[in-house]
Amino acid sequence: MAPKEALEAPKVGSTHMVKWKGAPHKARIVEVRGQLRNGDPAEYYVHYIGQDRRLDEWVLPDVVDKRPVSDASSAATIVIEETLPAAPVAEGQKVTRNMKRKFDEMNFHKPGEVDPKLLDLEREREEATKVRNVETIYFGKYKIGTWYFSPYPDEYKDQKTLYLCEFCLKYMRLPDSLVQHRQTCKQRRPPGTMVYHKDTIKIYEVDGKDEKLYCQNLCLLSKLFLDHKTVYYDIEPFYFYVLTETEKSKGREVDHLVGYFSKEKHSLDDYNLACILTLPPFQRRGFGRMLIEFSYEASKIEGKIGSPERPLSDLGMVGYRSYWQSVLLSLLKTSQGCSMSLKQLSGTTSIRVEDVVSTLSSMEMIRYWKGENMIW
Protein backbone atom coordinates (compact mmCIF):
# COMPACT_ATOMS: atom_id res chain seq x y z
CA MET A 1 0.00 0.00 0.00
CA ALA A 2 1.39 3.36 -1.03
CA PRO A 3 2.01 5.78 1.84
CA LYS A 4 -0.43 8.62 2.23
CA GLU A 5 0.72 11.89 0.74
CA ALA A 6 1.78 14.32 3.46
CA LEU A 7 -0.52 17.29 3.88
CA GLU A 8 0.85 20.72 3.10
CA ALA A 9 1.33 23.22 5.88
CA PRO A 10 -1.59 25.65 6.30
CA LYS A 11 -1.24 28.79 4.21
CA VAL A 12 -2.17 32.38 5.00
CA GLY A 13 -5.84 32.93 4.21
CA SER A 14 -6.89 29.29 4.57
CA THR A 15 -9.28 28.06 7.26
CA HIS A 16 -8.56 25.14 9.57
CA MET A 17 -9.75 23.55 12.77
CA VAL A 18 -7.59 24.80 15.65
CA LYS A 19 -7.66 23.50 19.21
CA TRP A 20 -8.85 26.41 21.34
CA LYS A 21 -9.88 26.20 24.99
CA GLY A 22 -9.71 22.43 24.81
CA ALA A 23 -11.98 22.03 21.76
CA PRO A 24 -11.59 22.38 17.97
CA HIS A 25 -12.71 25.71 16.52
CA LYS A 26 -12.68 27.12 12.99
CA ALA A 27 -9.88 29.62 12.54
CA ARG A 28 -8.42 31.54 9.64
CA ILE A 29 -4.63 31.67 9.20
CA VAL A 30 -3.75 35.37 9.26
CA GLU A 31 0.04 35.22 9.33
CA VAL A 32 2.95 32.81 9.87
CA ARG A 33 6.42 33.23 11.33
CA GLY A 34 9.54 31.19 11.91
CA GLN A 35 10.44 27.92 10.24
CA LEU A 36 10.77 24.34 11.40
CA ARG A 37 13.39 21.92 10.09
CA ASN A 38 10.90 20.52 7.58
CA GLY A 39 10.25 23.97 6.21
CA ASP A 40 6.81 24.40 7.80
CA PRO A 41 6.02 27.60 9.73
CA ALA A 42 6.95 27.49 13.41
CA GLU A 43 3.90 29.52 14.48
CA TYR A 44 0.54 30.56 13.07
CA TYR A 45 -1.37 33.74 13.87
CA VAL A 46 -5.04 32.74 13.80
CA HIS A 47 -8.41 34.47 13.90
CA TYR A 48 -11.18 32.36 15.42
CA ILE A 49 -14.21 32.58 13.16
CA GLY A 50 -17.13 34.33 14.80
CA GLN A 51 -14.98 35.77 17.59
CA ASP A 52 -13.66 39.26 18.22
CA ARG A 53 -10.18 40.05 16.90
CA ARG A 54 -8.91 40.63 20.43
CA LEU A 55 -8.82 36.82 20.77
CA ASP A 56 -6.47 36.42 17.79
CA GLU A 57 -3.24 34.74 18.84
CA TRP A 58 -0.05 32.95 17.84
CA VAL A 59 -0.35 29.18 18.13
CA LEU A 60 2.00 26.25 17.59
CA PRO A 61 1.55 23.83 14.66
CA ASP A 62 0.49 20.93 16.89
CA VAL A 63 -2.91 22.56 17.59
CA VAL A 64 -3.64 23.27 13.91
CA ASP A 65 -5.31 20.59 11.78
CA LYS A 66 -3.58 20.71 8.39
CA ARG A 67 -6.75 19.74 6.57
CA PRO A 68 -8.42 22.93 5.31
CA VAL A 69 -12.13 23.49 5.88
CA SER A 70 -14.58 25.74 4.05
CA ASP A 71 -15.66 28.97 5.66
CA ALA A 72 -18.27 31.14 3.99
CA SER A 73 -17.94 33.79 6.70
CA SER A 74 -14.29 34.38 5.86
CA ALA A 75 -15.47 36.37 2.85
CA ALA A 76 -17.56 38.63 5.05
CA THR A 77 -18.34 42.11 3.79
CA ILE A 78 -15.81 44.72 4.71
CA VAL A 79 -17.43 47.49 6.71
CA ILE A 80 -15.74 50.84 6.95
CA GLU A 81 -15.25 51.61 10.62
CA GLU A 82 -15.63 54.99 12.24
CA THR A 83 -11.95 55.88 12.18
CA LEU A 84 -10.15 58.33 10.00
CA PRO A 85 -8.00 56.57 7.41
CA ALA A 86 -4.31 57.30 7.63
CA ALA A 87 -3.85 57.54 3.88
CA PRO A 88 -5.45 60.04 1.48
CA VAL A 89 -8.24 58.97 -0.88
CA ALA A 90 -6.50 60.71 -3.72
CA GLU A 91 -3.61 63.07 -4.01
CA GLY A 92 -4.43 66.16 -2.01
CA GLN A 93 -7.73 64.80 -0.69
CA LYS A 94 -8.42 63.17 2.66
CA VAL A 95 -11.47 61.34 3.93
CA THR A 96 -13.07 63.54 6.55
CA ARG A 97 -15.13 62.34 9.50
CA ASN A 98 -18.28 63.66 7.82
CA MET A 99 -17.47 61.74 4.63
CA LYS A 100 -17.08 58.61 6.69
CA ARG A 101 -20.32 59.21 8.55
CA LYS A 102 -22.13 59.70 5.28
CA PHE A 103 -20.63 56.44 4.05
CA ASP A 104 -21.72 54.60 7.20
CA GLU A 105 -25.23 56.01 7.17
CA MET A 106 -25.93 55.50 3.47
CA ASN A 107 -23.87 52.44 2.55
CA PHE A 108 -23.64 50.26 5.64
CA HIS A 109 -26.20 47.83 4.21
CA LYS A 110 -25.09 48.25 0.59
CA PRO A 111 -21.59 46.77 0.39
CA GLY A 112 -21.79 46.44 -3.37
CA GLU A 113 -22.32 50.18 -3.85
CA VAL A 114 -19.61 51.65 -1.65
CA ASP A 115 -16.88 53.92 -2.95
CA PRO A 116 -14.06 51.63 -4.16
CA LYS A 117 -11.52 54.10 -2.76
CA LEU A 118 -12.94 53.68 0.73
CA LEU A 119 -12.94 49.90 0.34
CA ASP A 120 -9.31 50.02 -0.77
CA LEU A 121 -8.45 52.10 2.29
CA GLU A 122 -10.22 49.64 4.55
CA ARG A 123 -8.40 46.70 2.97
CA GLU A 124 -5.12 48.53 3.51
CA ARG A 125 -6.06 49.14 7.14
CA GLU A 126 -7.03 45.50 7.63
CA GLU A 127 -3.75 44.36 6.12
CA ALA A 128 -1.68 46.81 8.19
CA THR A 129 -3.42 45.95 11.48
CA LYS A 130 -4.06 42.23 11.02
CA VAL A 131 -1.41 41.19 13.55
CA ARG A 132 -0.87 42.73 16.97
CA ASN A 133 2.46 44.52 16.95
CA VAL A 134 2.78 45.10 20.70
CA GLU A 135 1.84 42.03 22.71
CA THR A 136 2.41 43.28 26.27
CA ILE A 137 2.67 46.60 28.07
CA TYR A 138 3.86 47.46 31.54
CA PHE A 139 1.65 50.19 32.94
CA GLY A 140 2.02 51.25 36.55
CA LYS A 141 2.00 48.07 38.62
CA TYR A 142 0.26 46.08 35.88
CA LYS A 143 1.49 43.82 33.12
CA ILE A 144 -1.26 43.88 30.50
CA GLY A 145 -1.73 41.67 27.46
CA THR A 146 -2.87 43.76 24.50
CA TRP A 147 -5.83 43.08 22.18
CA TYR A 148 -5.21 44.90 18.90
CA PHE A 149 -2.67 46.59 16.67
CA SER A 150 -1.71 50.16 17.56
CA PRO A 151 0.18 52.47 15.17
CA TYR A 152 3.17 53.31 17.34
CA PRO A 153 6.05 54.89 15.34
CA ASP A 154 8.02 52.66 12.97
CA GLU A 155 11.01 52.50 15.29
CA TYR A 156 8.79 50.63 17.78
CA LYS A 157 7.20 48.28 15.25
CA ASP A 158 9.30 45.26 16.32
CA GLN A 159 8.82 45.85 20.03
CA LYS A 160 6.69 43.07 21.52
CA THR A 161 6.78 44.77 24.91
CA LEU A 162 6.48 48.46 25.74
CA TYR A 163 6.96 50.22 29.07
CA LEU A 164 4.64 53.17 29.68
CA CYS A 165 4.66 55.94 32.23
CA GLU A 166 1.16 55.78 33.68
CA PHE A 167 1.07 59.54 34.20
CA CYS A 168 2.43 61.22 31.06
CA LEU A 169 1.92 58.05 28.95
CA LYS A 170 5.38 58.22 27.37
CA TYR A 171 6.30 54.85 25.88
CA MET A 172 9.73 53.21 26.08
CA ARG A 173 11.48 50.05 24.85
CA LEU A 174 13.42 49.13 27.98
CA PRO A 175 12.49 48.76 31.65
CA ASP A 176 15.61 50.71 32.65
CA SER A 177 14.39 53.63 30.56
CA LEU A 178 11.12 53.62 32.50
CA VAL A 179 12.98 53.56 35.83
CA GLN A 180 15.06 56.57 34.79
CA HIS A 181 11.99 58.38 33.46
CA ARG A 182 10.11 57.91 36.75
CA GLN A 183 12.90 59.74 38.56
CA THR A 184 12.41 62.86 36.44
CA CYS A 185 8.71 62.82 35.52
CA LYS A 186 6.86 65.22 37.80
CA GLN A 187 3.37 64.44 36.49
CA ARG A 188 1.08 62.65 38.93
CA ARG A 189 -2.29 63.41 37.34
CA PRO A 190 -3.67 64.03 33.87
CA PRO A 191 -3.29 67.54 32.46
CA GLY A 192 -6.38 69.66 32.03
CA THR A 193 -9.19 70.70 34.36
CA MET A 194 -10.81 68.51 37.00
CA VAL A 195 -14.56 68.55 36.28
CA TYR A 196 -15.74 65.80 38.65
CA HIS A 197 -14.60 64.62 42.07
CA LYS A 198 -16.26 62.17 44.43
CA ASP A 199 -14.37 60.16 47.03
CA THR A 200 -11.34 58.70 45.20
CA ILE A 201 -12.76 59.18 41.69
CA LYS A 202 -11.89 62.19 39.53
CA ILE A 203 -12.57 63.11 35.92
CA TYR A 204 -10.35 65.57 34.08
CA GLU A 205 -11.31 67.43 30.90
CA VAL A 206 -8.29 67.52 28.59
CA ASP A 207 -8.35 69.63 25.43
CA GLY A 208 -6.72 67.86 22.49
CA LYS A 209 -5.55 71.20 21.13
CA ASP A 210 -3.78 72.21 24.35
CA GLU A 211 -2.36 68.81 25.32
CA LYS A 212 -1.59 67.28 21.95
CA LEU A 213 1.23 64.92 22.99
CA TYR A 214 -0.62 63.55 26.01
CA CYS A 215 -3.78 62.94 23.97
CA GLN A 216 -1.87 61.29 21.14
CA ASN A 217 -0.19 58.97 23.63
CA LEU A 218 -3.56 58.26 25.23
CA CYS A 219 -5.01 57.31 21.84
CA LEU A 220 -2.05 55.07 21.00
CA LEU A 221 -2.51 53.33 24.33
CA SER A 222 -6.24 52.94 23.87
CA LYS A 223 -5.83 51.59 20.33
CA LEU A 224 -4.20 48.52 21.90
CA PHE A 225 -7.64 47.71 23.31
CA LEU A 226 -9.99 49.26 20.73
CA ASP A 227 -10.45 47.75 17.29
CA HIS A 228 -12.86 50.25 15.80
CA LYS A 229 -12.76 53.83 16.87
CA THR A 230 -9.81 55.89 17.89
CA VAL A 231 -8.18 59.04 16.54
CA TYR A 232 -4.47 59.39 17.17
CA TYR A 233 -3.29 62.05 14.70
CA ASP A 234 -6.14 64.57 14.48
CA ILE A 235 -6.92 65.11 18.14
CA GLU A 236 -7.40 68.89 18.23
CA PRO A 237 -11.20 68.75 17.56
CA PHE A 238 -11.71 66.58 20.65
CA TYR A 239 -12.06 66.79 24.39
CA PHE A 240 -10.81 63.83 26.40
CA TYR A 241 -12.48 63.04 29.72
CA VAL A 242 -9.95 61.06 31.73
CA LEU A 243 -11.14 59.09 34.76
CA THR A 244 -8.69 58.44 37.57
CA GLU A 245 -8.61 56.68 40.92
CA THR A 246 -6.71 58.50 43.67
CA GLU A 247 -4.38 56.95 46.21
CA LYS A 248 -1.94 58.50 48.64
CA SER A 249 1.70 57.65 48.01
CA LYS A 250 4.52 58.95 50.17
CA GLY A 251 2.31 61.67 51.62
CA ARG A 252 1.00 62.96 48.29
CA GLU A 253 -2.03 62.18 46.16
CA VAL A 254 -1.50 60.23 42.97
CA ASP A 255 -4.22 59.90 40.33
CA HIS A 256 -4.02 56.59 38.47
CA LEU A 257 -5.47 56.46 34.96
CA VAL A 258 -8.46 54.09 34.83
CA GLY A 259 -10.18 54.96 31.56
CA TYR A 260 -11.49 57.78 29.41
CA PHE A 261 -13.88 58.83 26.72
CA SER A 262 -13.39 61.32 23.93
CA LYS A 263 -15.95 63.69 22.49
CA GLU A 264 -15.97 66.00 19.50
CA LYS A 265 -16.12 69.65 20.48
CA HIS A 266 -18.62 70.36 17.71
CA SER A 267 -20.53 67.29 16.58
CA LEU A 268 -22.88 67.80 13.64
CA ASP A 269 -24.76 64.66 14.70
CA ASP A 270 -24.94 65.48 18.42
CA TYR A 271 -22.71 62.53 19.33
CA ASN A 272 -21.85 62.82 23.00
CA LEU A 273 -19.06 60.24 22.87
CA ALA A 274 -16.53 59.16 20.23
CA CYS A 275 -14.31 56.56 21.94
CA ILE A 276 -14.61 54.96 25.36
CA LEU A 277 -12.20 52.69 27.15
CA THR A 278 -11.70 51.24 30.60
CA LEU A 279 -8.25 49.70 30.85
CA PRO A 280 -8.41 45.91 31.38
CA PRO A 281 -7.16 45.87 35.03
CA PHE A 282 -10.07 48.16 35.99
CA GLN A 283 -12.88 46.53 34.05
CA ARG A 284 -15.95 45.02 35.77
CA ARG A 285 -15.84 47.69 38.49
CA GLY A 286 -18.47 50.04 37.07
CA PHE A 287 -16.07 52.59 35.60
CA GLY A 288 -17.37 52.15 32.06
CA ARG A 289 -20.92 52.86 33.21
CA MET A 290 -19.67 55.90 35.12
CA LEU A 291 -18.14 57.33 31.93
CA ILE A 292 -21.31 56.63 29.94
CA GLU A 293 -23.45 58.26 32.61
CA PHE A 294 -21.13 61.29 32.71
CA SER A 295 -21.47 61.73 28.93
CA TYR A 296 -25.28 61.82 29.22
CA GLU A 297 -25.22 64.18 32.20
CA ALA A 298 -23.08 66.51 30.08
CA SER A 299 -25.69 66.26 27.30
CA LYS A 300 -28.42 67.23 29.77
CA ILE A 301 -26.44 70.28 30.87
CA GLU A 302 -26.01 71.25 27.20
CA GLY A 303 -29.73 70.68 26.60
CA LYS A 304 -29.02 68.12 23.88
CA ILE A 305 -30.04 64.58 22.99
CA GLY A 306 -26.91 62.47 22.70
CA SER A 307 -25.73 59.15 21.38
CA PRO A 308 -22.36 57.40 20.98
CA GLU A 309 -20.66 57.20 17.63
CA ARG A 310 -20.95 53.91 15.81
CA PRO A 311 -19.85 51.21 15.47
CA LEU A 312 -19.77 50.12 19.10
CA SER A 313 -17.56 47.20 20.08
CA ASP A 314 -19.22 44.13 21.54
CA LEU A 315 -18.15 45.21 25.03
CA GLY A 316 -19.25 48.77 24.33
CA MET A 317 -22.69 47.66 23.22
CA VAL A 318 -23.11 45.55 26.36
CA GLY A 319 -22.22 48.56 28.50
CA TYR A 320 -24.57 50.94 26.67
CA ARG A 321 -27.43 48.46 26.56
CA SER A 322 -27.12 47.93 30.30
CA TYR A 323 -27.10 51.68 30.96
CA TRP A 324 -30.05 52.40 28.67
CA GLN A 325 -32.12 49.60 30.17
CA SER A 326 -31.41 50.71 33.73
CA VAL A 327 -32.20 54.38 33.09
CA LEU A 328 -35.37 53.74 31.06
CA LEU A 329 -36.77 51.10 33.43
CA SER A 330 -36.11 53.35 36.42
CA LEU A 331 -37.91 56.27 34.74
CA LEU A 332 -40.87 54.12 33.69
CA LYS A 333 -41.15 52.72 37.21
CA THR A 334 -41.21 56.15 38.84
CA SER A 335 -43.77 57.42 36.33
CA GLN A 336 -46.31 54.62 36.79
CA GLY A 337 -49.79 55.94 36.21
CA CYS A 338 -48.48 58.61 33.87
CA SER A 339 -48.31 58.00 30.16
CA MET A 340 -44.92 58.80 28.61
CA SER A 341 -44.17 58.96 24.92
CA LEU A 342 -40.93 57.85 23.37
CA LYS A 343 -40.08 61.49 22.74
CA GLN A 344 -40.66 62.31 26.40
CA LEU A 345 -38.44 59.43 27.49
CA SER A 346 -35.75 60.70 25.16
CA GLY A 347 -36.08 64.30 26.33
CA THR A 348 -35.90 63.34 30.02
CA THR A 349 -32.91 61.01 29.70
CA SER A 350 -31.08 62.67 26.77
CA ILE A 351 -31.00 59.22 25.12
CA ARG A 352 -31.73 59.39 21.40
CA VAL A 353 -35.18 58.14 20.37
CA GLU A 354 -33.66 55.42 18.16
CA ASP A 355 -31.69 54.11 21.14
CA VAL A 356 -34.81 54.21 23.31
CA VAL A 357 -36.74 52.21 20.72
CA SER A 358 -34.03 49.59 20.22
CA THR A 359 -33.57 49.17 23.98
CA LEU A 360 -37.27 48.78 24.77
CA SER A 361 -37.68 46.49 21.76
CA SER A 362 -34.93 44.22 23.08
CA MET A 363 -36.97 43.87 26.29
CA GLU A 364 -40.20 43.30 24.28
CA MET A 365 -41.69 46.46 25.78
CA ILE A 366 -42.60 48.16 22.54
CA ARG A 367 -45.10 47.34 19.80
CA TYR A 368 -45.79 48.81 16.39
CA TRP A 369 -49.49 49.74 16.38
CA LYS A 370 -51.46 51.89 13.94
CA GLY A 371 -48.28 53.17 12.32
CA GLU A 372 -46.55 54.15 15.57
CA ASN A 373 -44.21 52.60 18.13
CA MET A 374 -46.09 52.22 21.42
CA ILE A 375 -44.70 51.35 24.86
CA TRP A 376 -46.38 48.09 25.88
Which residues are annotated as catalytic?
309
Residues in Cβ contact with 232 at an 8 Å cutoff, skipping those fewer than 6 apart: 151, 216, 219, 220, 223
- Report the distance separating Cα 258 and Cα 288, nearest Å: 10
106: left (phi > 0), else alpha (psi -120 to 50), else beta? alpha
Element (H, E) at 291: helix 287-302
Instruction: State the Cα angle at 167 between 203 and 267, rounded to 5°.
Output: 45
Q: What is the DSSP string of 24-72?
A: EEEEEEEEEE---TTS--SEEEEEETTS-GGG-EEE-GGGEEEEE---G
Cα(167)–Cα(217) distance, integer angstroms: 11
Long-range contacts of 229-233 (CB under 8 A, 24+ apart): 229/81, 229/82, 229/83, 229/274, 229/275, 229/309, 229/311, 230/83, 230/275, 231/83, 231/84, 231/262, 231/274, 231/275, 232/151, 233/84, 233/86
Q: For residues 85 and 120, what is the distance between their CA atoms, to the nearest angstrom?
A: 11
**How would DSSP label each residue in 292-356?**
HHHHHHHHHHHT--BEE-SPPPHHHHHHHHHHHHHHHHHHHHHTTTS---HHHHHHHH-B-HHHH
**Best CA proximity match to 192, nearest among 163, 167, 156:** 167
